[in-house]
Structures are given as C-alpha cells and as structure tokens.
Structure 1
Amino acid sequence: MSLETHALGWTTGRTVVLQDISLTVRPGETLGLIGPNGSGKSTLLRLMAGLLRPSAGHVELEGRPLAALPGARSRSASPGWR
C-alpha cells in the first residue's frame, strides 16, 4: 500500500508548523522520522493518518486522496488528536 504527500503543510494561527512536505512511501518500505522536539514529526504523522486536515497540499493512499476515503472526515474531527 503506497502513501504519498504532495506539498503538505500545516499552520496553526500565525505559526507555520510544516511547509511543502512531499514524500512517497512504497509497499515494503519503512519510513523513519527524526528531528528535535517541536520540529513537526507528530504533526506530520497525524496529517498522514488523516487525524488533522492539512492547511496546504494533500495526502494520497494508493493514489486516492485520503480526504475522499470513508471515515476521513470523522478522523480529522477527532478531539483526541488536536
């Protein structure tokens, strides 16, 4: 199952947390995220899981926009992942 992000970004208030993140994870590949505290690792994972709605760009799962998949709207509205 492939997962792609295209020019993904997330902003909260006036703070740009992530900007222009594009990547592809193909079947069988492993992705690791490293970086200092506050660099946006958890935010990126939440965006990729559909738990947050991107401010810019989009996420695709198997070539289909994640936001168009069933349940995506309810995941992004989940109060436990803000």
Structure 2
Amino acid sequence: MKGNKINKIKLGLALLASLSSGATLAAGESGSGVDLSSLTNSIDFGSVLIGIMAVASSIVVLYAGSAGARWILRMVKTA
C-alpha cells in the first residue's frame, strides 16, 4: 500500500516536470506560430450554427414529447 502511494507521487512529479517543460517551450514559440487565417476566413459558420440548432431543437422536442407521454401514462395509471 505504501509503495503504491510512493509510485503515484513519483508519477505525478514526473508528469508535472514534463508538462511544465513543454509549457515553457510552447510559450517561447507563441509568436512564431503558423498563420491559418487564410483557411479560416473562408468558412461560413452561419449554416453550421443553423444545423446545430436544428438538431438541438429536435432533441428538445423528442424529450418534451417523451416527458409528456410519461406524465399522461402516470395520470391514467393512477386514475
């Protein structure tokens, strides 16, 4: 049990050391990143948003219908 706890501590320290060194390297290169604005400027997110909202609204309608059916069945069962 004690050895398992020590191994977890060692693993945590190793992860902390590796992630912190990676973060410092990434922070040093943040100014020289790749410019992808030419690719992202041509994407129209309006139609994507409409599609997502349509799917979400259909899920809400299905949930409301299911809840209504359960409520009606519960009312009939108790009557």
Structure exhibiting the larger radius of gyration computed from Cα positions: 2
TM value normalised by structure 1: 0.21
The structure that is strand-richer by fraction is: 1
The structure that is helix-richer by fraction is: 2
Question: Which structure's relative contact order is higher, taking Cα pairs within 8 Å and 6+ residues apart?
Answer: 1
